[in-house]
A = this chain, B = another copy of it.
Amino acid sequence: VTDSTVSRRRGDDLERAIFEAALEELAEVGYANLRMEAVAARAKAGKASLYKRWPDRAHLIRAAARHKATAVDTTFEPSGDVRADMAHVMRRITENQGGPGGEAMRGWVGELRAPAGEEDGEVEEIREAIEQPRIRVFAKILEAGIANGTVRPEALHPRIVNLAPSLLTQHFLMKGRPATEAVIGEILDEIVMPLITAHR
């Protein structure tokens, strides 16, 4: 089984290597300064191997971000302490924003451009992929709160469920860096908790 040479990668192996290279570049230089040639070089791949799989930088980065996101967000089991659970998940979101995932999102946002009237399936799909997992987790947390009477039932409205992540996103995009712990606290105490708390 002694593999002699540094054999040439193909298929999924290669794809993984490219993703990793892309994410590293993303973390180092940011989306705006990311060069396809740099990704190819870092992955020790030919440029053609990149363009064979994705038509442009945007698609590559989207795929790379999806690749990383998969199997990470996943599960979270609410404790019943709504504020603590939310804070915990929000912290995880900000951590992600600090890495290549955040940089990927920034790039995606920068190139976004939805024509006024039409629908753009791709944009919707990606936004859903970003938001849905968060919504699911926050909905679970809120349901637990409703179950133990600390959260009013109307709080399950989608816009409220998505409120905390939305504010984190807005903060990250406008400030260029993820929200700090203090900001998370303020968002929860001034906005989210007052809005969802059940008043006896």
Contact = CB atoms under 8 A, between A and B. Distances in A.
Interface of A: 30-32, 98, 103, 106-107, 109-116, 120, 123, 127, 130-131, 157, 159-160, 163, 166-167, 169-170, 173-177, 186-187, 190-191, 194-195
Contact of A106 (B112, B123, B163, B187): B112
Q: Is the interface of A mostly helix, strand, loop or mixed?
A: helix
Contacts of A120: 176
Contacts of A190: 157, 159-160
Contact of A114 (B31, B109, B166, B176): B176
A130 B107 CA distance: 21
Nearest to A32: B111
A120 to B, nearest CB: 7
A109 B109 contact: yes
Nearest to A107: B110
